[in-house]
Structure 1
Amino acid sequence: MIPTRYQNLEEARARFGDRVDRLAPFLLRGDPLADAVIEEMEGAPAGRGFSLLDKALRAPEPRGLDLPPAMRAYLEWASYVPAWVDWDAVRRGGELLLRSGALGGAVLGTYSLVLGYASPGGNKPLVFSGQLVERAPRRLGETSRFVQATAQPGGLLRTGEGFAITLKVRLMHAKVRQMLSRSPKWDTATWGLPVNQHDMAGTSLLFSLVFLEGIRAFGLDIDRDESECFMHLWRYSGHLIGVDPELLPASEFDAWSLAHLIRATEGRPDDDSRALTHALFESPLRQAKTAEERRLGALRRNVGMGFSRGLLGDELADALGIDRTPFVAAFHALRAVTRVAEQARKRSPAAHQKAIGTGARYWEMVVKEGLGGAPAHFAPPTRLSRAA
């Protein structure tokens, strides 16, 4: 069975050959290693399983801990570093993300996330979680924290924050997959398995290839070595979060090849796509409590929509219900300014290091603001309000 969300198959086969049919089964595949941990946690008192996982992730080595079998297997699997991982490339990939700074934050919020919402099949688990409007700022804050932790020096080492957060997010996905699979409202014939391998790979591309494309569009000058290091960072992150090895691009070329195939077989944005996008851009206004905050919120919304339209193009922006706003000029103006600044950075190693430090401080600030002082625990959800 091929889920009906997988579309335009004859046209896609003419372009991609039998790769179309080789990708299709991943719409029905989950993550057995993480799924087993969630099943195991069900038999424990509420919160105990996650507390035990958190303790194990803080320990330098899980072998001496008294862990249930599935959790032990999960952590031992994650602790093994594949031979292809190049730690210097991982570090340099993280530096690129950090130096992207505010431009990277804009790309994450107005391009990567929005393209994820545009997928009419891939967006369904998020829709079933409910609270689309109320949770929009928190979702962005938690996503920023995940990205920042991934990019930090040593973040994906066994004792790094990025490593721990990634393994927790993987179990969040597994819990959502379990709950939606049990829900009578979930339509497998249409959408495939909840949080399936196809969509996990697509999400990894949003943080890697799409992000890279976005910061380039804003004028950042990125050489071939930097871009490949960035892709390597997210290849390892994708490995840790449970993406099937067949769907982990080893290069930017591989990533573009997979992205083009996914886009060719994807339907147009639906009403859920537009609702998620609307909630994201309206969140600054909904958070405002004073007249001044409302003024700034409206400005942030309009600039965000302008950036998004500049990055997405008019056709997709229209399909997502993003306003046609004169603030798209801000995208083009910022790109011109960035290109000039990049010339100075490239001529000076000191300026390059300063850009990394400035960008890192931006990510710290935006995470603090986005989370509003409430730490992100990345615990598996206990319910999905629209799945019952």
Structure 2
Amino acid sequence: MTYTEASMNTLRQAGDELADATVATLFERGEVGKLNTLLRHVSVAGAPLPDGLPDVAREYLARTSVPPAWVDWDEMEKARLFFIDNNVHISTALSFASMPACYVIPHVARLLSATHSLKYPSKRMAETGQFTVYLMQPGAFEAGSRFIPAAQKVRLLHASVRHHLKREGRWDTASLGTPICQEDMIGGQMLFSLLVLDSLHRLNIHMSVDGAEAYFYAWRVVGAMLGVDQDHVPKDLESARQFFDLYMTRHMGPSEEGVQLTRQLIDLYEEVVPGTFFDPVVAALIRYLVGDTCADWLDVPRTSWDTAVKAVPGLLGVLESIEDHSPFAAWALDRVGHLTTLFELSSLTRGRVMHYAIPEQLKKDFGVSSAVPRTRRWTPPAPTLGTER
């Protein structure tokens, strides 16, 4: 599929028909508060739905309770093993590359600042980390899992934001298109898949082609569960590169909201890291992964660690080589990575399960070792700067 300015503009006009209709009916009937209360009891797939659930919500949950029929479960298992093998690195990429890259898209940063208080960035980071962990659990799409209910609630959350912004006239639809439109949802999918793989490559993490492709595939499944139109989403890493390059060049730039969100993100992780000596590493790592231009737009401070952090890929490369040649080292490093990820997530969630709810109003101030062999090392698809516009 070839992406052009015209095709991307068309995607900016489309939302999520099913979720949008569900949310509109709930607000029309004044049932959002009751739904949020009852949704707290919908936490695992396959459990009986609570009594008193609005009919329109019950129908929505039924229609979105199963994964797409086209899912390749062997590919999903490869993705799960890839995550186990690289979980701490993936968490690093999500935190210090994917999230700042969201903030460098001004209209996305504005949306995030409208739906998540700038004073509590840990909430969004905790939700993102928890969502990813749910996705990569064994049986994520089976009865008893937490992933499907989380995906259902996130989809309703997105529809609620669209509802508020359009109803209250707080979004310039003529110039910006539909809030959380198909282009932005696909762009988000690329931020959490392709950009993560790019970041792992930049950190010198050893990845097989099969592992990288499986991880990207898993996020395609996530996109489908979140209402992404599968007729337009990239199906492989090459078309993903074409879409992502065009998407970012169309939209990225500086914004006040992006600067505020980034500052809060840096402060958050400086609190997580024990002591103060290593605090500058957070900013240095963000700058290394997103590049100087984006980092300057986000006011990421330059620190004495900016040069030192460039040695990280060399160190990680040595550890990766040891892991490649020693089953015991692979097991030990995977275990350390698992525990590190759990520590980070528990620090962000304070040990609580994060609950997704439909906001009734927006902010007032809106402006195991891997079974995937590491042969055929993955390298990022080439940039598509010559993409047809």
> Normalised by the size of structure 1, how large is the TM-score?
0.85
* Secondary structure at 2:356 match in 1: coil
Cross-structure match for 1:206: 191
C-alpha displacement of 1:101? 3.3
Distance 1:211 1:158 in 2: 29
- Note the alpha carbon deviations across 1:112-162, whole angstroms, 9 max, x for none: 000001001222211223631x11122212221112211222224354212
Cross-structure match for 1:163: 148
Cross-structure match for 1:135: 120
What is the letter of the counterpart of residue 195 of structure 1?
A: I
* Counterpart check, 1:234 vs 2:213: no
Answer yes or no: is the 8 Å Cα contact 2:88–2:338 preserved in 1.
no
Answer yes or no: is the 8 Å Cα contact 1:26–1:197 preserved in 2.
yes
Poorly superposed stretches of 4+, deviation over 6 Å: 61-66
- Equivalent residues in 2 for 1:219-298, closer than 5 Å: 219-284=204-269, 296=275
Distance 2:75 2:246 in 1: 27
- Note the alpha carbon deviations across 1:63-109, whole angstroms, 9 max, x for none: 99886553344333323433431112112212323332333222111
Cross-structure match for 1:327: 305
In the alignment, structure 2 segments of 5+ residues that lack a partner are 367-389
* Counterpart check, 1:336 vs 2:314: yes
C-alpha change, 1:19 and 1:365, in structure 2 (3 Å) is: same
C-alpha displacement of 1:261? 1.7
C-alpha displacement of 1:338? 1.0
What is the letter of the counterpart of residue 340 of structure 1?
A: V
- Equivalent residues in 2 for 1:21-60, closer than 5 Å: 21-42=6-27, 43=29, 45=31, 47-53=33-39, 55=41, 58=44, 60=46
Cross-structure match for 2:372: none
* Counterpart check, 1:378 vs 2:378: no
Match of 2:158 among 163, 167, 173: 173
Distance 1:299 1:96 in 2: 29
C-alpha displacement of 1:172? 1.1
Cross-structure match for 1:196: 181
What is the letter of the counterpart of residue 204 of structure 2?
A: G
Answer yes or no: is the 8 Å Cα contact 1:120–1:273 preserved in 2.
yes
Match of 1:307 among 258, 265, 285: 285
What is the letter of the counterpart of residue 75 of structure 1?
A: L
* Secondary structure at 2:106 match in 1: coil
C-alpha change, 1:368 and 1:281, in structure 2 (3 Å) is: same
- Equivalent residues in 2 for 1:78-157, closer than 5 Å: 78-129=64-115, 131-132=117-118, 134-157=119-142
Distance 2:266 2:142 in 1: 35
Paired positions, count:
365
What is the letter of the counterpart of residue 188 of structure 1?
A: T
C-alpha change, 1:156 and 1:116, in structure 2 (3 Å) is: farther
Question: When you count helix as a share of all residues, which structure comes out higher?
Answer: 1
In the alignment, structure 1 segments of 5+ residues that lack a partner are 1-15
Distance 2:50 2:266 in 1: 47
Identity of aligned residues (%): 27
> Normalised by the size of structure 2, how large is the TM-score?
0.84
C-alpha displacement of 1:380? 1.6
Distance 2:2 2:342 in 1: 45
Distance 2:62 2:266 in 1: 41
Answer yes or no: is the 8 Å Cα contact 1:303–1:327 preserved in 2.
yes
C-alpha change, 1:17 and 1:164, in structure 2 (3 Å) is: closer
C-alpha displacement of 1:314? 1.5
Distance 1:347 1:165 in 2: 38
C-alpha change, 1:33 and 1:350, in structure 2 (3 Å) is: farther
- Note the alpha carbon deviations across 1:206-258, whole angstroms, 9 max, x for none: 11111111122112100110011101111101110111113432221121121
- Note the alpha carbon deviations across 1:260-295, whole angstroms, 9 max, x for none: 12123224222222222122113356x69xxxx9x8
Cross-structure match for 2:369: none
Answer yes or no: is the 8 Å Cα contact 1:123–1:273 preserved in 2.
yes
- Note the alpha carbon deviations across 1:305-342, whole angstroms, 9 max, x for none: 10111111212212221122221234322211111111
* Secondary structure at 1:321 match in 2: coil
Answer yes or no: is the 8 Å Cα contact 2:269–2:282 preserved in 1.
no
Cross-structure match for 1:76: 62
C-alpha change, 1:18 and 1:368, in structure 2 (3 Å) is: closer
Answer yes or no: is the 8 Å Cα contact 1:98–1:360 preserved in 2.
yes
C-alpha displacement of 1:168? 1.1
Distance 1:124 1:23 in 2: 20
What is the letter of the counterpart of residue 136 of structure 2?
A: A
